[in-house]
Chains A and B, each alone.
Chain A
Amino acid sequence: MAEFEPVLLANIHKTDSHTLPVYQAAGGYAALKKVLAGMSPVDVVELVKASGLRGRGGAGFPCGLKWSFLPKDHPGPIYMCVNADESEPATFNNRILMELDPHHVIEGIIIGCFATRASTAYVYVRYEYPTAFQRLQQAIDECYASGFLGKNIQGSPFSLDIFMHRGAAAYICGEETGLIESLEGKRAWPRIKPPFPAIEGAFRKPTVVNNIETMANVPHIVNRGADWFKSMGIPSTGPKDPGSYGPKLYCISGHVNKPGCYEMPLGITCRELIDRYGGGVWKGRKGKAAIPGGLSMGLFTEKEFDTPLDFAVPGKVGCLGLGTAAVTVMDETYSMIDYLHNACRFFAHESCGQCTPCREGTSWSERILTRIKHGKGRLKDLDILLSIAGAIGIIPGTTICGLADGAAWPIKNAINKFRGEFEDHIKRTNPTGYAQEEPAEALQLVELVH
C-alpha cells in the first residue's frame, strides 16, 4: 500500500482546480474521449462491473450491476439522478469533490450516462452547499461551451443534458426514492420498492441513482482499467461478499487533531485513520468511541478501533455497515448519553413521518433521551429504547426506508456497548426515581425542553 497514488483528490490542491483548463491540463476528459472513440455502452457497464466498484453513497451496491438492471432496448428517456444531497452527519467528501474538482465529477456523470443511455442527468445538491452548486453549474456551462455536453458530444452521436436541482434542507432527500419524489416536486416520501428506480424511477422512467464519489471513480476505471481498481482494497471473501475495491475518501472529524478528508484504499482501519491521518485524538486524550461511517452506522468502542473500514467488517462488530466511511471520534471525557441524545434528536428531526414506527419511534427515542439527559431517566428506559430500536427499520421489516435502521443502530450500539455508563448516569442523576416504572414527569419535561 506504500505506493498508493491518490486519484480522487489528485487535483484539489491546484490553483483554479475547479476550471476546465486546469482539469484538462491534468488529463481531464481523456476518459470520456476514450469512451466515445471506441466503447459501446455495454462495454462501459461491463468494465465498471469488472472493477467491482460499489456505491459510495452508503449502501455499497455494486455500481455496474445496478446499471445492468436497466431495461434493455428501452425507448427512453432514461434518467440519471446524481445524489449530492450529502447530509449524513460527519460526511463531507462529496462537498470537497464538487467544490474543488467539479469537472472530475461531471466527467464521471457523462460517462455514466453514456453507459446507461441516459439522456438527462439531474444533480440533486443539498441547499447547504451553495459553493458546490455554483461550481458545478459553472463547470456544466464550460462543458456546454466546449462540446462536452449538449447535442452530439465531441462530434459523436451521444447527446446529454445535465441540470442542477437544489434541495431544501431535508436529510431524507438523500434516500434515492425520496430524492426522486423531491425532484418531481413532491414531498420527499421514499417509495416502496420494488419497483426499483432502474425499472421505474424519476417521472416513472428507468433511472439510475448514484452518489458523487461513485461517479468520480468512473473516469479512472476507464483510464486505468478494472485490474488497477481491483489491485486496491480488500478482496471478496466469498460469494456473498462482492469485495471492497478501489480508493475511498475517508472523512475524519470530532475529537482529533486534524479533521479532514483523506484518500486511501478501502480497508484501512479506524485506528490508522485516526492516528496517521487525523493526527491522533486531541488534547493528548484517549479515544472512547467512534462513529464508523456516518451517524447512522452506530458506534465502535475504543477496542474496536482496529476494525478495517471496508464494506464487510464493520457489520461484524455490530455496526450497520461502512456507510459513508466518515469517522467521528469521541474522547474519553465525552458522555455517551450526549452522543445518543444528539443522534436520536437528529433522526426524530429528519424522519419524513410516512411510516408510523419510524415517526413515533424516533420521536419517542428523542424524548426518552432528553429525559435521561436531564436527570429524569429510569433504568427501564434502556430496555424501552432497545425495544424501539429493534422494532423500526427495513431490517425488522416495519418501515419503507433505511432512515429508521440508521436511527436504530446508534441506540443499539450505545446501550449494548456502554450500558454501564447509561445505568450509572441514570442512578446518579435520578437517585430517587431511577427504579420507577411509570414515567410520571416524562411528558411534562418534554414540553419544557422543546
Chain B
Amino acid sequence: MPAPPTTATPVLTPAMRAEIEAFIPRYPTKQAVTLPALHVVNEHLRCVPMEAIPEIASILELAPAQVYDTLSFYGFFKPSPCGKVRAWVCRSISCALRGGEEVLSALSDKLGVKAGQTTADGKVTLEFGECLGLCDFSPAMLAGTKVYKNMSVEQVDEVAALLKEQADQHG
C-alpha cells in the first residue's frame, strides 16, 4: 500500500477544478489561466488561501512560486476570507471633489472598521477604491456587483444597512 497522502483535504473542490480547467482551451499557455483560476477560487471562498496555490499550480503545470508571484502583485486576492460583501468606496479625484473621502470615513465609523477590514459579523469588507469609472455618479461605491451612486455622508446609515442586507442575501 502506498503511503497515504500527507496533505490535508484539497481546498479546491471538483467544481472549482472543473471551472478552472474550462478556461484552458481559451489560451495558448496554461499560465494564462492564472488570473481566471484565482478569480474562480476567490469567488467560491472569498479569498485565495495559501493552500490553494500549489493546487492551482499543479492544474496549470506551474511552480507554486509562479502562481504566488502573480497573486501577490494584485493586492486584490486576500489570504483569509473577506466579508460576504466587499465594498469599495472611491477615493480618487472626481469623487473626492464631491465628498468621497468623507463618505468613506463616515461609513468606516458606522461599520466600525477601517478600510481593508471586515465587520465583526463577517458581513462587510470595507475598502477604498481608486477611480471606479463611475465618476458621473460620484461619490460612488461598488459593492459586489452593485453600484451605489451619488452618496453623501447623510446617507451612510442607510448605506450601511443596505450593505448588511446585501450580505444576508448572499449568505
**Which residues of A are in contact with B by a Cβ distance under 8 Å?**
77, 86-92, 94-95, 126-131, 134, 161, 163, 165-171, 182-188, 203, 251, 253-255, 259-261, 291, 295, 326, 328, 330, 334, 338-339, 342-343, 345-346, 349-350, 352
Considering the complex, give the chain A residue whose CB is closest to the CB of B34. A185
Is A90 in contact with B145, judged by CB distance below 8 angstroms?
A: no
Is B39 in contact with A166, judged by CB distance below 8 angstroms?
A: yes
Given A169, A187, A342, which contacts B76 in the complex, CB threshold below 8 Å?
Answer: A169
Considering the complex, give the chain B residue whose CB is closest to the CB of A258. B136
* Cα(A94)–Cα(B133), bound, Å: 9
Stretch of B9-17, B87-95, B117-125, B155-163 with 4 or more beta carbons under 8 angstroms from chain A: B87-95
Do A253 and B133 contact each other (CB < 8 Å), given the known contacts A170-B73, A259-B138?
no
Which residues of the partner chain A approach B27 to less than 8 Å between Cβ atoms?
A: 163, 203
Given B93, B133, B135, B137, which contacts A339 in the complex, CB threshold below 8 Å?
Answer: B93
* Cα(A255)–Cα(B77), bound, Å: 34
Do A253 and B29 contact each other (CB < 8 Å), given the known contacts A128-B132, A182-B35?
no
Is A90 in contact with B130, judged by CB distance below 8 angstroms?
A: no
Which residues of the partner chain A approach B93 to less than 8 Å between Cβ atoms?
A: 89-90, 254, 291, 295, 328, 339, 342-343, 346
Which residues of the partner chain B approach A253 to less than 8 Å between Cβ atoms?
A: 94, 97, 135-136, 138
**Which residues of B are in contact with A by a Cβ distance under 8 Å?**
26-29, 31-36, 38-39, 60, 66, 69-70, 72-77, 88, 91-94, 96-98, 129-138, 142, 144-145, 147
Is A185 in contact with B136, judged by CB distance below 8 angstroms?
A: no
* Cα(A127)–Cα(B66), bound, Å: 22
5 shortest interchain CB distances as A-B pairs: A185-B34, A187-B73, A168-B74, A253-B135, A89-B131
Chain B CB within 10 Å — which of A86, A91, A166, A186 has the most? Answer: A186
> Taking the nearest CB of chain B, how far is it from the CB of A106, in angstroms?
17
* CB pairs A–B below 8 angstroms (20 shown): A89-B94, A89-B131, A90-B92, A90-B131, A92-B134, A92-B136, A131-B145, A131-B147, A169-B75, A185-B32, A187-B69, A187-B70, A203-B28, A203-B29, A253-B94, A254-B138, A255-B98, A259-B94, A259-B136, A260-B136
Considering the complex, give the chain A residue whose CB is closest to the CB of B67. A185
> Taking the nearest CB of chain A, how far is it from the CB of B98, in angstroms?
7
> Taking the nearest CB of chain A, how far is it from the CB of B72, in angstroms?
8
Which residues of the partner chain A approach B76 to less than 8 Å between Cβ atoms?
A: 127, 168-170
Which residues of the partner chain A approach B74 to less than 8 Å between Cβ atoms?
A: 168-170, 188
Taking chain A's interface residues, is the majority helix, strand, or loop, or is none over half, making it mixed? mixed
Which residues of the partner chain A approach B34 to less than 8 Å between Cβ atoms?
A: 185-186
> Taking the nearest CB of chain A, how far is it from the CB of B85, in angstroms?
13
Is B35 in contact with A166, judged by CB distance below 8 angstroms?
A: yes
Which residues of the partner chain B approach A350 to less than 8 Å between Cβ atoms?
A: 130
Considering the complex, give the chain B residue whose CB is closest to the CB of A94. B133
Given B35, B88, B135, which contacts A165 in the complex, CB threshold below 8 Å?
Answer: B35
> Taking the nearest CB of chain B, how far is it from the CB of A89, in angstroms?
4
Given A183, A295, A352, which contacts B32 in the complex, CB threshold below 8 Å?
Answer: A183
Considering the complex, give the chain B residue whose CB is closest to the CB of A341. B96
Contacts A259-B137, A326-B135 given; 5 further ones with Cβ under 8 A? A169-B74, A184-B31, A254-B93, A255-B98, A328-B135
